[in-house]
Chain A
Amino acid sequence: MARIKVPRKSTAMDMTAMCDVAFLLLTFFILTAKLRQEDPLHVDVPASTTVIPVPDDNVATLSVGKGKIFFGIEGTDIREALLDEMGKKYNIAFTPTEKKRFAVIPTFGVPIAQLQQYIALDEEKRKTYPQPGIPVDTTENNELTNWIYEARIVTRNLKNQELRFAIKGDAREEYPAYKKVVDVLQKQAINKFSLITSLKTQ
């Protein structure tokens, strides 16, 4: 009996085009990816149904957790200028090296008196350094108020834009801790700010 022979085809495919596409995409993602910086203060943000992402630049983040407040601001040039202004205010002479080192610290929570000591540490030691948070009390002239105030001025001078504020609060934190930060902002007539949340499905 004659059989119809099915021609056996090779299972090997030409992978060249696929490889090209894969590496093109890979390059794109590597270039657009922003390395996630490790937060010195671990904050477990609450979830909400908001879908608007946090703006990337020109934003200061106030982290609230474990009763401490940490301050973070984007942009190395802004950080450098900010430290200069704060040094003038508190009569601390920061050296140019200290300013350069400070410019790469994204978030910190030390009182200004301890700041020089903190800057002098290397990156590994900074992670384990017990940061007490930025001091805040009910007086008009507390440190957090000054950081916020100077940051706004520096941003306006350098970027000619209004600085935006985002509050990153821990979900388990009690309300008064958050209220304290809002009061500081409202005293400077900042009535619009963002609350950082993670995404929740309804």
Chain B
Amino acid sequence: MAELDTSGGGKHKGGKIRSKKASTRIDLTAMVDLAFLLITFFIMTTTLAKPKAMDMFMPDKTKKDVQLPVPETRTMTLWLGANDKIEWYIGAPGKSRPTIDNFGKDGIRKTLVEQNKKIEETHQGPDNYMIVLVKPSDKSTYKDFVNIIDEINIAGIKSYGVVDITAPEVAQLKKDGNY
């Protein structure tokens, strides 16, 4: 879109030689191009690079007397094993075989939503929500841990906690080949 010089300089038919009046208009196209390029660059580097913060709340370790008794039928225990595998069960430990699950839309997210619904249907009273206990093993990665907390948040689980894994649970994970 270059501007054509239409002033017609250099065609003076004799007579007085007039000094050519230069146009005050400058072609700004290139300048605008450059400005927008820089804007794009700054937008990309500022807003997209902003890290996000996931808030974590841990129970207060110094207060021992505030533990509430919770019915076992409402608790779901999740073990995080190696290679992004999860094992879960509902109720008291050792009564039922844990189910092996994985991450993703059809994996643990579906399970969490389904089990939460089931527990809310079978229990009465205002406190009928599911409680999830996350037990990450030493072989699980930090990514697994963040993912499971994220899935719990997505599924809208009202109450969850992070607990240390015990030796018999590790043994079970080992037996299933997830440790």
A16 contacts B by Cβ under 8 Å = yes
Whether the Cβ atoms of A175 and B141 lie closer than 8 Å is yes
B118 contacts A by Cβ under 8 Å = no
* Chain B residues in 8 Å Cβ range of A178: 142, 145
B70 contacts A by Cβ under 8 Å = no
> Residues 168-198 of chain A: 1 if any B CB is under 8 Å from the residue's CB, otherwise 0?
1111111111110010001101011111111
A16-B28, A173-B141, A195-B146 known; A48+B54 contact, CB < 8 A: yes
Within 8 A of A (CB), among B82-101: none
A172-B141, A175-B141 known; A193+B146 contact, CB < 8 A: no
Chain A interface: which of B12-20, B42-50, B120-128, B167-175?
B42-50
Whether the Cβ atoms of B51 and A191 lie closer than 8 Å is no
Assembled-state Cα–Cα distance A71/B20 (Å): 68
Which partner residue on chain B sits nearest A44 by CB separation? B143
Whether the Cβ atoms of B142 and A177 lie closer than 8 Å is yes
Shortest CB distance A81–B (Å): 25
Shortest CB distance B40–A (Å): 10
Within 8 A of A (CB), among B130-170: 136-147, 149-150, 153-154
Shortest CB distance B41–A (Å): 9
Whether the Cβ atoms of A29 and B39 lie closer than 8 Å is yes
Shortest CB distance A20–B (Å): 10
Sorting the interface of chain A by its residue count into under 10, 10 to 19, 20 to 34 or 35 or more gives: 35 or more
A175-B80, A194-B56, A195-B146 known; A45+B46 contact, CB < 8 A: no
B66 contacts A by Cβ under 8 Å = no
Whether the Cβ atoms of B45 and A36 lie closer than 8 Å is yes
B53 contacts A by Cβ under 8 Å = yes
Whether the Cβ atoms of A46 and B143 lie closer than 8 Å is yes
* Chain B residues in 8 Å Cβ range of A97: none
* Chain A residues in 8 Å Cβ range of B29: 15
B71 contacts A by Cβ under 8 Å = no
Shortest CB distance B61–A (Å): 5
Within 8 A of A (CB), among B1-32: 1-4, 27-29, 31-32
A199 contacts B by Cβ under 8 Å = yes
Assembled-state Cα–Cα distance A13/B28 (Å): 9
* Chain B residues in 8 Å Cβ range of A15: 27-29, 31-32
B55 contacts A by Cβ under 8 Å = yes
Shortest CB distance B63–A (Å): 10
Interface centre among A54, A64, A174, A193 (most CB of B within 10 A): A174
A54-B51, A182-B58 known; A197+B145 contact, CB < 8 A: no
Assembled-state Cα–Cα distance A32/B45 (Å): 11
B67 contacts A by Cβ under 8 Å = no
Whether the Cβ atoms of A198 and B42 lie closer than 8 Å is no
Within 8 A of B (CB), among A39-76: 45-46, 48-55, 64
Assembled-state Cα–Cα distance A16/B27 (Å): 9
Shortest CB distance B4–A (Å): 8
Apart from the given pairs A15-B31, A52-B52, A53-B51, 20 other A-B contacts in the complex at a CB distance below 8 Å: A15-B28, A18-B28, A22-B39, A29-B39, A29-B42, A29-B46, A52-B54, A171-B143, A174-B140, A175-B140, A175-B142, A178-B142, A189-B61, A194-B55, A196-B51, A196-B53, A196-B54, A197-B54, A197-B150, A202-B154
